[in-house]
Structure 1
Amino acid sequence: MNNYLMAALFLAFSGLGYLYIVFARKLHIHDVPNNRSSHKQVTVRGIGVLFPLAVLYYACATQFQYPFFLMAIFTLASISFLDDLFTLSGKARFLVQLIGTGLMLYQIDLESNLLLLFTLFFLGVGFLNAFNFMDGINGITGLYGLVGAVSLSYMNQKVRFIDQQLLTLLMLALVTFLWFNFRKRALAFGGDVGSISLAAILFFGIVLLGEAVSWKYLMFFSLYGLDTGYTLFYRLLKGEAIFEAHRLHFFQLMANELRISHLRVSVLYAGLQLFLNTVLVLSDQLWIVLVVHLVLLVVMHRLRARLGKGVRWIPKNK
């Protein structure tokens, strides 16, 4: 893909983004703040449609390469956009996530044992929800997703495991998305359509990389996994409904309780993951990554305790 085409696509994505904002405002496709939100202004929601649009362009340009993957993306994007509009039932969303994950794994056609397939299926559904849960402050989804896409693209130059056009288009869509979202007051939020679509594309890429090279590269997105997993464990111990909205993720505590700006928290998450990915790519010293995660886990636990949001015991009635 030459530079002129990339520039033209960036302008096209930008124009589509502005058009979406205009129509979304007229149709009142808004995210209205509540006591669980990390923002205070009514903001357009759903500009994450840029990601499935990038995949649509890719599908047309490559005569629908990866057909089952494409089916998964458009199915997930459709149900997620409808959820942005109308708030669908959790069961319907979960069923579509199961179908989408299954389609992606079928596309990859892993020649492995059933245990690995089951593990990847479980991780795939968790991956989609982790990205959705973590999409709560300005810039975090775009920056973190860009770090993941750049990491996959770098590895693809060393060992070709995926069509580079797909990753290039994703990075262009992410840069465009950040133009609208990486601001003190965002012009638009990605919505479920953005976080779920982005997660699905990245999951497809990371499984292809794991199969081609090493499963250690699943840790390209380990920071989201650590925050989501620890928060889920905490909420289970507290007996809370884990699928209800909350402000208990580590990034939310920093933004809402410690009053660190959204953009700084987003840069911190993306920067930490970029450091971890660099270690994974350039070194076989996996212990460094594990030590960093252990330190982060201790920091998360201490911050919760400091803010009075830690787990000190399991309630007797649980």
Structure 2
Amino acid sequence: MTVWWTVAGAFLLGALGTEMARSYALRRGVLDVPGTRSSHTRPVPRGGGIALVAASTVALVVLWLSGRLPGWLAAAWTAPLAVALVGWIDDHRHLSPALRLAVHLGAAAWLLFSIPVQPPGWAGWLFGVLGGAWVVNLYNFMDGIDGLAAAEAIFVCLAAGWLMDDQTRALSGLTWAVAGACAGFLPFNLPPARIFMGDVGSAFLGAVLVTLALAAQASDALPLATWLVLGAVFWVDATYTLAVRLLRGQRVWQPHRGHAYQILARRWGGHGRVTMAVLLYDALWLLPLAVWSEGDPHRGYWAVVMAAGPVLLLCLWSGAGRRPHDARAAV
């Protein structure tokens, strides 16, 4: 019963916290002003993700103090909190990309150290640190249209919690609580958004998903391959776009509108259609793949390929990562 009350509480805290964050942002002038690389056309308050941080962390503390979660998970949670702190500061006064990246790398390293997973040798550690930091950043990159990042987190966390082993019900509950916090925030972020989650929210969600995935792996609750399947839309679009921009010599640290989802939002004339299309792909293709592959390593590898393939084709078709005139020419 504590688990379900925790999930419900996370939803309420997420909603109330978002309303408070919006009032604060309007009062302090913490606004996201549209520019040439923005996907919105009017100033919008940002920093609403602080409500996700608060609601999810309260849920963790409740489950930990009740003896349902291990101490190492509470220790690991300090990594997403550190990432959120840097994001909160960046939402108020921009920090250098190098400083943010250093914190993200340090957070990823701390997760590998504090969670009882065993990366295979130094190469495994290096890949784990770089991969963890990349997930933090890619979630930020994919938070570019109304509703998408929160809706994706809800799907991934609900599905992952449902697929987890029954012996790890508290970890499932924490995962669902993160979904609940995002569900409380989402109505404020649906198009036209009344507030953005900001770096504090998007980077935190990326770090939390890494934390939950590693914790599930360490607890034998859910393999990493299943998380890759569930989150395929985000990591494929972001990784492909980054690779193309690097190969074309673009300044990858600068904001842009070259991801496949952003291109589709412009072509389809709205954010909501893209978010709905992503959720349909998640529910009708990725979730069945995750169910089919869960618990079978051989199927897991194939499921990752089958999950990523259609998204990769979409990126190729849309011209993701190219400059605007190149992307139009690719259609």
Is 1:81 paired with 2:88?
yes
Letter of the 2:279 counterpart: A
Check the 8 A contact 1:77/1:193 in 2, yes or no. Answer: yes
- List per-residue Cα deviations over 1:157-187 (Å, max 9, x = no partner): 44628623322321210101111102x2111
2:296 alignment partner in structure 1: none
Specify the SS of the correspondent of 1:197.
helix
1:297 alignment partner in structure 2: 312
Q: What TM-score, normalized to structure 2?
A: 0.85
Cα RMSD, aligned residues only = 2.6
2:328 & 2:272 partners in 1: Cα distance? 28
2:156 alignment partner in structure 1: 148
2:101 alignment partner in structure 1: 94
Task: Report the CA distance between 1:291 and its aligned residue.
Answer: 4.2
Check the 8 A contact 2:14/2:52 in 1, yes or no. Answer: no
2:120 alignment partner in structure 1: 113
Unpaired runs of 5+ residues, structure 1, are: 313-318
Task: Report the CA distance between 1:302 and its aligned residue.
Answer: 2.4
2:140 & 2:157 partners in 1: Cα distance? 17
Is 1:134 paired with 2:142?
yes
2:30 alignment partner in structure 1: 29
Check the 8 A contact 2:56/2:177 in 1, yes or no. Answer: yes
Specify the SS of the correspondent of 1:37.
coil
Q: 1:111 to 1:9 in 2, by over 3 A?
A: closer
1:191 & 1:310 partners in 2: Cα distance? 27
Is 1:259 paired with 2:268?
yes
1:68 alignment partner in structure 2: 75
1:188 & 1:92 partners in 2: Cα distance? 26
> Pairwise mapping of residues 1-318 of structure 1 onto structure 2 (< 5 A)?
1=2, 6-61=7-62, 62-63=64-65, 65=71, 66-114=73-121, 115-158=123-166, 160=168, 163-182=171-190, 184-211=191-218, 212=220, 213-219=222-228, 220-256=230-266, 258-274=267-283, 275-283=285-293, 284=299, 287=302, 290-291=305-306, 293-304=308-319, 308-310=325-327
Check the 8 A contact 2:265/2:271 in 1, yes or no. Answer: yes
Task: Report the CA distance between 1:31 and its aligned residue.
Answer: 0.5
1:134 & 1:285 partners in 2: Cα distance? 25
- Aligned residue pairs: how many? 310
2:234 & 2:207 partners in 1: Cα distance? 14
Higher deviation after alignment, 191-200 or 167-176: 167-176
Q: 1:19 to 1:299 in 2, by over 3 A?
A: closer
Task: Report the CA distance between 1:21 and its aligned residue.
Answer: 1.0
Q: 1:222 to 1:17 in 2, by over 3 A?
A: same
Q: Percent identity?
A: 24
Specify the SS of the correspondent of 2:315.
helix
Unpaired runs of 5+ residues, structure 2, are: 294-298
Check the 8 A contact 1:76/1:100 in 2, yes or no. Answer: yes
Specify the SS of the correspondent of 2:45.
strand
Letter of the 2:315 counterpart: M
Higher deviation after alignment, 102-111 or 58-67: 58-67
1:101 & 1:5 partners in 2: Cα distance? 27
1:199 & 1:4 partners in 2: Cα distance? 25
Letter of the 2:245 counterpart: R
Q: What TM-score, normalized to structure 1?
A: 0.88
Specify the SS of the correspondent of 1:160.
helix
Specify the SS of the correspondent of 1:245.
coil
